[in-house]
Each structure stands twice: as structure tokens, then as C-alpha cells.
Amino acid sequence: MLGRRLRLAAVAAIAGLAAACGGGPTVPTPQPTPTSALPPVAIMGPSRLTPAQIVAWFNGRQPQPPGVYAATEPVEALAAYFVEEGRMEGVTGDVAFVQGVVETGWFRFSGAVPAWKNNFGGIGAVDNSPGDAVAFPDARTGVRAQIQHLRAYADPGALTCTVPPLAHPCVDPRFALVLPKGRAPLWSQLGSGNWATAPNYGTDILTRYREALAYHGLPL
């Protein structure tokens, strides 16, 4: 009993010393909102973030992801391409940029798709053969293909990869493989065998997008 009292006294003394050294009350770590609580976000629609806001979040968030940025063009150019190409096709280009973040590991390209392919959406990189990912000649073309592919999933009226219904000539080699057109109008529907096999693929994108919005004081 005496030994137990001595141990308790020692613990109390250590706690008092920690408080004297500036240790205050423990602040609980905020818990992330369950992905099931994420509101639906349509793939077709306007961007809510400008290119400058996207770049500010990408460069300013903490902690920064490990690795070195490796895309063939600066992030400022990529953000502009996503918003511009999205606007021309009626696709939420700011969310598509975040999809690129998820696909490429923050444009560090640590996975099976190398940076030189300018493929920011993993187009053609199927699970059993990721090396088959399509290569595009430049970053804007890669963004355009990703936006066109998103429109195939979200717009039931985009029946052919032609102009019209698209704003630009077809650069997405897998557009015709999305059947039926408009099968996944929401970002949360892109997993479980649509764009990707992972069931949480869409909610992973929306979780990062919510972070980007919150960086600028905006709700999802």
C-alpha cells in the first residue's frame, strides 16, 4: 500500500512539473467528419475555386506531403488548365484538380504512372496493368482528356467524343468505353468499379476538396 501511494505521489509531482513548464490542458484532436456525412457534389457544374485559390491551398496547407513536385508544368499552370477546361465542358474543374492530387500523390508521381505521361487521372491505368496508362503530349492535353472522361461519366447527353457535344476535339481514348453515358453524375459515385475500383475513391476526392474549400473559409 505504501509503495502504491509513493507511485501515485510521483505521478502527481510529474504532472505538476509539466504544468509549471508551460503545459496547459490537453486540446482534443478534431476528428474528421465521417465520409458518409459528405453532401453530394455533382461532376457537372461550375468551379467554386479560382486557379489562384487552388494554388494557395496546394502550396499553403500543412503538413506538406513528402516528395518533390514533378509535373511537367508548374502547379499554377495545372490549376488554370483544370478550371478553364472544366468551364468549357461544364465540369467542376476545381474538383478535377483535386482528383489529380489523389491520383498522382500530390503530383509527386510516386505510383505506377510517371510524370512524363501527363496523365493526371490515371486514364488507362487498370489495376492489373497500371503501366498501360495513356501518355499525353503535354499537360493541357492530359487535363483535357481527364475532363472529357469525367463528362462521359456524368453527362447522359455526351454520347460521342466529338464536337459537339464536346467543346474540343476528342483526346480521351477511353471515352467510348464509358457505358451508359451519365452513369455516375456525382463525384461520390466514381468508386466501386466506375472510374476506380476502390469503394471510397469518390469520397477521398471530396474529403480533399472539402479541405481546399475550408482553407478559404468555404463549406463543402
Q: What is the dihedral of CA 177, 119, 117, 78, to 10 degrees?
A: 150
Task: Let me know if residue 50 belongs to a domain.
Answer: yes
Q: Is residue 191 part of a domain?
A: yes
Q: What is the pLDDT of residue 130?
A: 66
34: in domain: no
Residue 212 confidence (pLDDT) = 98
Q: Does the residue 185 lie in any domain?
A: yes
Asked, for residue 160, whether it belongs to a domain, the answer is yes
Is residue 5 domain-resident? no
Residues 107-152 have pLDDT tens digits of 999 988 999 999 999 999 876 666 789 999 999 999 999 999 999 9
The domain total for the chain is 1
In-domain check, residue 57: yes
Range of the domain at 74: 39-215
Nearest to 35 by CA among 213, 212, 201, 217: 201
Q: Confirm whether 137 is domain-assigned.
A: yes
3-state helix, strand, coil in the chain (%, to 5): 45, 5, 50
Cα(2)–Cα(187) distance, integer angstroms: 63
For each successive 10 residues of the chain (220 residues), what is the average pLDDT?
Answer: 41 38 37 64 98 98 96 98 98 98 96 95 82 93 98 98 98 97 98 95 98 98
Q: Identify the pLDDT of residue 182.
A: 98
Q: How far apart are CA 174 and CA 129, in angstroms?
A: 15
Give residue 152's identity as a one-letter amino acid code: A
